[in-house]
Amino acid sequence: MLIGKACRILGRVRCCVVKPLASLSLSSNMAKSKFEYVRNFETDDTCLRNCYIVVRLDGRNFHRFAEQHKFTKPNDNRALGLMSRSARSVMEELEDIVIAYGQSDEFSFVFKRSSTWFKRRASKLMTHVASQFSSSYVFYWKEFFLDQPILYPPSFDGRVILYPSNRNLRDYLSWRQADCHINNLYNTVFWTLVQRGGMTTAQAEDRLKGTLAADKNEILFSEFDINYNNESDLHRKGTTLIWEKRDETVIKRMKSPDEEEKHVIRSRRRVQAHHCDIIGEQFWEEHPDILEDDNS
Amino acid sequence: MLIGKACRILGRVRCCVVKPLASLSLSSNMAKSKFEYVRNFETDDTCLRNCYIVVRLDGRNFHRFAEQHKFTKPNDNRALGLMSRSARSVMEELEDIVIAYGQSDEFSFVFKRSSTWFKRRASKLMTHVASQFSSSYVFYWKEFFLDQPILYPPSFDGRVILYPSNRNLRDYLSWRQADCHINNLYNTVFWTLVQRGGMTTAQAEDRLKGTLAADKNEILFSEFDINYNNESDLHRKGTTLIWEKRDETVIKRMKSPDEEEKHVIRSRRRVQAHHCDIIGEQFWEEHPDILEDDNS
Amino acid sequence: MLIGKACRILGRVRCCVVKPLASLSLSSNMAKSKFEYVRNFETDDTCLRNCYIVVRLDGRNFHRFAEQHKFTKPNDNRALGLMSRSARSVMEELEDIVIAYGQSDEFSFVFKRSSTWFKRRASKLMTHVASQFSSSYVFYWKEFFLDQPILYPPSFDGRVILYPSNRNLRDYLSWRQADCHINNLYNTVFWTLVQRGGMTTAQAEDRLKGTLAADKNEILFSEFDINYNNESDLHRKGTTLIWEKRDETVIKRMKSPDEEEKHVIRSRRRVQAHHCDIIGEQFWEEHPDILEDDNS
Amino acid sequence: MLIGKACRILGRVRCCVVKPLASLSLSSNMAKSKFEYVRNFETDDTCLRNCYIVVRLDGRNFHRFAEQHKFTKPNDNRALGLMSRSARSVMEELEDIVIAYGQSDEFSFVFKRSSTWFKRRASKLMTHVASQFSSSYVFYWKEFFLDQPILYPPSFDGRVILYPSNRNLRDYLSWRQADCHINNLYNTVFWTLVQRGGMTTAQAEDRLKGTLAADKNEILFSEFDINYNNESDLHRKGTTLIWEKRDETVIKRMKSPDEEEKHVIRSRRRVQAHHCDIIGEQFWEEHPDILEDDNS
């Protein structure tokens, strides 16, 4: 890093000049309070109360990132695992996140309606999530890609969306999972046509133009003997992270004179991953604690 | 990662059932459009035109992060270097940033008034900056801390502030630099009292209670023979990053038959670091291209 | 109205100059498109979907307005009637308002959750309500104050508040009605002490300092033989406006040759005023159509 | 106004029940604080500092209002006078408005950059302007329309727009005046073709389809001997209201024993109307106090 010439000269001149040390500092102190009015330009972006706060992250230029890091097609399990690991890191830092859902290079985090994290300030919430996710992505890279190095720091952009009712929130999550399904079905057929059917990507694209989901299932089934429904849940359903209580047996050494050991059963909250349908009722019936009552 | 039992059962059941493949997919397609209304809950947070957009990042719990990674006191040059490196990474990704200023665990990025990056959407701008900075921080860690590993992924939160005039923007930057000066003077005296004066931190805190800048300068000068103005510019002034044009001599091999080499002088924009006063006029007179005319 | 000298001269000069008529107009046309960029400075203030939109108006300097128009104390029924009449005028213009509640010099209007009036733009909604209410207030003045003229145009300011759930909305309305109760009890005792007890306003204020509601009821009951609960519902409960269906018998003259008359029963929506408790369940059970289901 | 039966019964029941008076009131007091949380749903809409705040009002359904009140075509001087009078009423109430510009059924009000009225809260500013304007419109109606009664209360909607620089603000005002010019030229030709040329409105519309400003000027000049530039400044330029200082001679009766009269010259700010070009430099050079320096 170079330091501009003018500045260095300026610095030198200053040191030579014999001036009362106090005056500079005093004026600097006064200067600060003189400038402090600029704080009033900050605006309040508090999220409306009693709404679910969703922060969604999307990878930036991840097509290029996937190319350069040779992600396998149509899905790279290492990359998906790293996304989930980073999302877990976010949840562990921000405990008011009650559910997170991810697929491909995106992840959505849902703060509970009554959350008061960062006084519900949208900018704080989304930048913290984006930051924690991104630093975790690089930090945990080697756990998933082992000896393959990460070539440059990736980035994700984020947004905040508010949902006033349980229905709206569930529809949001359903929308993302339906999107996962549609994209994964397309990608599965596309890459099967290319990798096993010997087509060029242009030919595969052409073949799929205008086809409905039914047609795509049919291609897989009749031409490649693949039943799409037998494909991996991870790829078809994406990843849902929630908090779950686990009973753990902990050995506690007592501070009493005889140093007796005690087995204590402790309940601990842990982030658990699911790869199941979250559009239907079953998931929500099995996890009634995720949503808060609309009229509470 | 565990997969909930119910989900796996659900998955299995589904595969067993012999049902027309199409129906599931079709309904999934319809489902997506049925859910798509949730997009309308997104709000527009476009930044007012013709204002400077400032994104400021602040380290979260960096006191603890500094402790755990044994940052030297009062300033750790490795940590400051890593901050600047990460900020440079942000500037190289987002070319509309005309100036950035950092000190301690904070960095401010200024987008030019006329910028249309991300259609000036505040959420996109601040999350992208926060994300790129954070992933870079982990990515470049080893360049500054060499064999000392990073223990966990750090995070930064961000905010957006708009400034309508050059005066307002300069006052913002002056405010941050005055803050740098005040904090650094305090920290310099504090840690000198502890490290060289043999005081406990409590004693040092006590000694400095109620002192003015002049008193602090005096302590340094009379007790430790330190002229504060001779201390490092990096610590006293923080780091200012701007774009600068450099002439570079490039050797170009011609594609002509004789493969002649040619020396070409090319002008290239590069991010340069300065550690100088940005409160006064001189810096701005020397770099007239940073600010746009108020009335353009 | 005076016209500035310079302008008139300018105008005259223009008329004298013989110049091709087209050029001025053409340049004016071009000018408009040149200036049109200023539209992009407008920001979008769409209200979050699926929330009740409440617009509350408050009289500005109504203490003075009441003084100058000699409103009776503690309540002026003409003034309250005019407030309700103006509120009805607002509801008749903006049919998506499902309930309105007023007391003293304030009125709250509740748009249904699913409303798309003005594309849910907050600024349009609140200014339209404020404008319609204010013009109606002057327009209908003489229906309530008869020969007493209005001395100057009054004004009201407004705000928009969003409520995501039925519970929140009902709590908002309960808050306003509880406020009505508390103020009216205070005012009733205060003016009884002055008007019937012969106290000065300062003495009455002093007497009431620190008293609880129970004390105030007791003063009314034991000193003036007034049971507060027998006071007018209008004053104790404020005014609630809702839409109600009425069957109306309409005489329709047929266009057929014999000009026969027909009595037709037609159902018509009309704004109806209530002065009852809206904190408890009964009102809402009797009018189940006001609120929409939280999870619709 | 009818009172719902249930409510009256409810009221009656309450009065009959012999219950300790205190309990109701106490619970009502507690109730209020229980409900008060709903205040936290209000959001802050403070306008960015150091920007001009423009509130623009537009008449709602004024086509119909003009029809029903038989406004003359293409311009009704009574209606334009009433608009200006109402705007003046707004300026006299809100002294931080430095300039207002109106044409047709719209009026724009510009608050000075440094204004702190209503703490710069957008909702307060725009609703107050909309309210004061609307009540004034009805209040002053009879001064302009004399014996012709106003048939129903009109309404205006409003919006807030921020402009960070003098150039932006002037371009906004230029945009409105260019709009005035274009509309007035069209309307002048259109109604001349109808009223003097004997065309139907459909024929006139057809005749003007695709014509440029030059063509319209030519039609007026060659067919009706009208030089558009000689038309009324009020119609071609709209109305600009600004504050101007006037010296006034005031007769002051002294309170001294001899009751002597004294002539005192006092400087008073008054709202003055101009109908001149505000696109060019001249107007702004002649009134240098309207705008504040961009870099102050």
pTM: predicted TM-score of the whole model, two decimal places: 0.88
B58 is in an annotated binding site: yes
- Which one has a higher pLDDT value, B235 or C17? B235
Q: How far apart are CA B83 and CA B89, in angstroms?
A: 10
Band (pLDDT 50/70/90 cuts) for residue C2 is very low
Q: Do A43 and D40 touch (CB under 8 A)?
A: no
- Model confidence pLDDT, tens digit, residues B232-248: 999 999 999 999 988 87
pLDDT of the residue at B250: 73
- Measured between CA atoms, the residue of chain C closest to residue A162 is C48
Kindly list the residues from chain D whose CB atom is less than 8 angstroms away from the CB atom of residue B291: none
CA angle centred on D257, ends D252 and D263, rounded to 5°: 20
Kindly list the residues from chain D whose CB atom is less than 8 angstroms away from the CB atom of residue B166: 295
Q: Do B46 and C43 touch (CB under 8 A)?
A: yes
On the question of pLDDT at C260 being above 70, the answer is no
Q: How far is the alpha carbon of B202 from chain A, nearest alpha carbon, in Å?
A: 24
Q: Which of D159, D174, D286 sits opposite C6 (nearest CB)?
A: D286
pLDDT of the residue at C26: 47
Q: Do B32 and A175 touch (CB under 8 A)?
A: yes
On the question of pLDDT at C20 being above 80, the answer is no
B257: cis peptide before it, omega within 30°? no
Please state the rounded mean pLDDT for residues C106-124: 97
pLDDT of the residue at C262: 73
pLDDT of the residue at C266: 82
Kindly list the residues from chain A whose CB atom is less than 8 angstroms away from the CB atom of residue B24: 213, 229
On the question of pLDDT at B1 being above 50, the answer is no
Kindly list the residues from chain B whose CB atom is less than 8 angstroms away from the CB atom of residue D167: 295-296
Q: How far is the alpha carbon of B165 from chain D, nearest alpha carbon, in Å?
A: 6
Q: How far apart are the first and last CA of chain B?
A: 57
- Measured between CA atoms, the residue of chain D closest to residue A51 is D41
pLDDT of the residue at B135: 98
Please state the rounded mean pLDDT for residues C162-183: 97
- Model confidence pLDDT, tens digit, residues B100-150: 999 999 999 999 999 999 999 999 999 999 999 999 999 999 999 999 999
Query: Mean pLDDT in chain B?
Result: 88
On the question of pLDDT at A139 being above 80, the answer is yes
Q: Which of A48, A166, A295 sits opposite C48 (nearest CB)?
A: A48
Q: How far apart are CA C278 and CA C281, in angstroms?
A: 8
Which residues, 6+ apart, have CB-to-CB distance to C174 below 8 Å?
C278, C279, D31, D35
Q: How far is the alpha carbon of C128 from chain D, nearest alpha carbon, in Å?
A: 5
- Which one has a higher pLDDT value, A203 or B27? A203
- Measured between CA atoms, the residue of chain B closest to residue D50 is B164
pLDDT of the residue at A114: 96
Band (pLDDT 50/70/90 cuts) for residue A264 is confident
On the question of pLDDT at B289 being above 60, the answer is yes
Q: Which of A40, A41, A48 sits opposite D41 (nearest CB)?
A: A48
pLDDT of the residue at C257: 59
Q: Do D123 and C128 touch (CB under 8 A)?
A: no
Q: Do D22 and C217 touch (CB under 8 A)?
A: yes
- Which one has a higher pLDDT value, B4 or B182? B182
Task: Please report all neighbours of A, defined by 3+ CB atom pairs within 8 A.
Answer: B, C, D
Kindly list the residues from chain C whose CB atom is less than 8 angstroms away from the CB atom of residue D172: 35, 38, 41
On the question of pLDDT at C10 being above 60, the answer is no
- Model confidence pLDDT, tens digit, residues B58-106: 999 999 999 999 999 999 999 999 999 999 999 999 989 999 999 999 9
Q: Do D296 and B167 touch (CB under 8 A)?
A: yes
Positions at the binding site of C = 58-63, 104-105
* CATH code linked to domain D52-237: 3.30.70.3000
Q: Do B48 and D50 touch (CB under 8 A)?
A: no
Calculate the CA dihedral of residues C261, C265, C267, C270 and round it to 10 degrees. 70
Band (pLDDT 50/70/90 cuts) for residue D106 is very high
Kindly list the residues from chain C whose CB atom is less than 8 angstroms away from the CB atom of residue A162: 48
CB contact at 8 A, D248 and D266: yes
- Which one has a higher pLDDT value, C4 or D292? D292
Please state the rounded mean pLDDT for residues C60-77: 97
The DSSP annotation for B93-115 comes to: H-TTEEEEEEETTEEEEEE-TT-
Please state the rounded mean pLDDT for residues B148-161: 98
On the question of pLDDT at D22 being above 50, the answer is no
pLDDT of the residue at B247: 81
Kindly list the residues from chain B whose CB atom is less than 8 angstroms away from the CB atom of residue D295: 165-167, 294
Query: Mean pLDDT in chain D?
Result: 88
The DSSP annotation for chain C comes to: ----HHHHHHHHHHHHS---HHHHHHHHHHHHHHHGGGGGG----BPPTTSEEEEEEEESSHHHHHHHTT--SS--HHHHHHHHHHHHHHHHH-TTEEEEEEETTEEEEEE-TT--GGGGBHHHHHHHHHHHHHHHHHHHHHHHHTTS---S---EEEEEEEE-SHHHHHHHHHHHHHHHHHHHHHHHHHHHHHHTT---HHHHHHHHTT--HHHHHHIIIIIH---GGGS-HHHHH-EEEEEEEEEEEEEEE--STT--EEEEEEEEEEEEEE-S--SSSHHHHH-TTSSPPTT-
3-state secondary structure of A214: helix
Query: Mean pLDDT in chain A?
Result: 88
pLDDT of the residue at A287: 97
- Model confidence pLDDT, tens digit, residues B159-169: 999 999 999 99
Please state the rounded mean pLDDT for residues D25-53: 87
Band (pLDDT 50/70/90 cuts) for residue C23 is very low
pLDDT of the residue at B246: 84
Most confident of A27-36, B28-37, C1-10, D257-266: B28-37
Reference C52, options B42, A164, A160; nearest CA is A164
Q: Do A165 and C294 touch (CB under 8 A)?
A: yes
Q: Do B128 and A155 touch (CB under 8 A)?
A: yes
* Half-sphere CA count of A124, side-chain side, radius 13 A: 17
pLDDT of the residue at C236: 97
- Which one has a higher pLDDT value, A106 or D252? A106
Kindly list the residues from chain C whose CB atom is less than 8 angstroms away from the CB atom of residue D163: 38, 41
CB pairs under 8 A between B and C: 17
On the question of pLDDT at A7 being above 60, the answer is no
Reference C128, options D134, D82, D139; nearest CA is D134
pLDDT of the residue at B264: 78
**C74-83, D5-14, D268-277, range with the lowest pLDDT:** D5-14
Q: Which of A42, A154, A221 sits opposite B21 (nearest CB)?
A: A221
Query: Mean pLDDT in chain C?
Result: 88
pLDDT of the residue at C34: 93
Q: Do C48 and A49 touch (CB under 8 A)?
A: no
Q: Do B164 and D296 touch (CB under 8 A)?
A: no
Q: Which of B15, B228, B279 sits opposite A31 (nearest CB)?
A: B279
CB contact at 8 A, B106 and B56: yes
Kindly list the residues from chain A whose CB atom is less than 8 angstroms away from the CB atom of residue D50: 41
- Model confidence pLDDT, tens digit, residues D231-284: 999 999 999 999 998 887 777 766 665 666 777 788 889 999 999 999 999 999
- Measured between CA atoms, the residue of chain A closest to residue D42 is A48
**B17-21, B270-274, D198-202, range with the lowest pLDDT:** B17-21
Q: At what angle do helices D122-145 and D77-93 cross, to 10 degrees?
A: 140
Mutate to test the interface with D, among C12, C13, C35 (most CBs of D within 10 A): C35
Q: Do C172 and D38 touch (CB under 8 A)?
A: yes
pLDDT of the residue at D256: 60
Alpha-carbon distances, residue B157 vs A130, B61, C262 (angstroms)? 9, 10, 73
Q: How far is the alpha carbon of A50 from chain C, nearest alpha carbon, in Å?
A: 7
pLDDT of the residue at A29: 67
On the question of pLDDT at D15 being above 70, the answer is no
- Which one has a higher pLDDT value, A1 or A250? A250
Q: Which of D162, D163, D295 sits opposite B294 (nearest CB)?
A: D295
- Measured between CA atoms, the residue of chain C closest to residue B48 is C41
Which amino acid, A192? T
pLDDT of the residue at D255: 62
pLDDT of the residue at A232: 96
CB pairs under 8 A between A and C: 38
Band (pLDDT 50/70/90 cuts) for residue B295 is confident
On the question of pLDDT at D1 being above 80, the answer is no
Q: Do D48 and B48 touch (CB under 8 A)?
A: yes
Q: Do D131 and C157 touch (CB under 8 A)?
A: yes
Kindly list the residues from chain D whose CB atom is less than 8 angstroms away from the CB atom of residue B295: 165-167, 294
Band (pLDDT 50/70/90 cuts) for residue C9 is very low
D62 is in an annotated binding site: yes
Q: Do C157 and D127 touch (CB under 8 A)?
A: yes
B179 is in an annotated binding site: no
Mutate to test the interface with D, among B45, B48, B115, B167 (most CBs of D within 10 A): B48
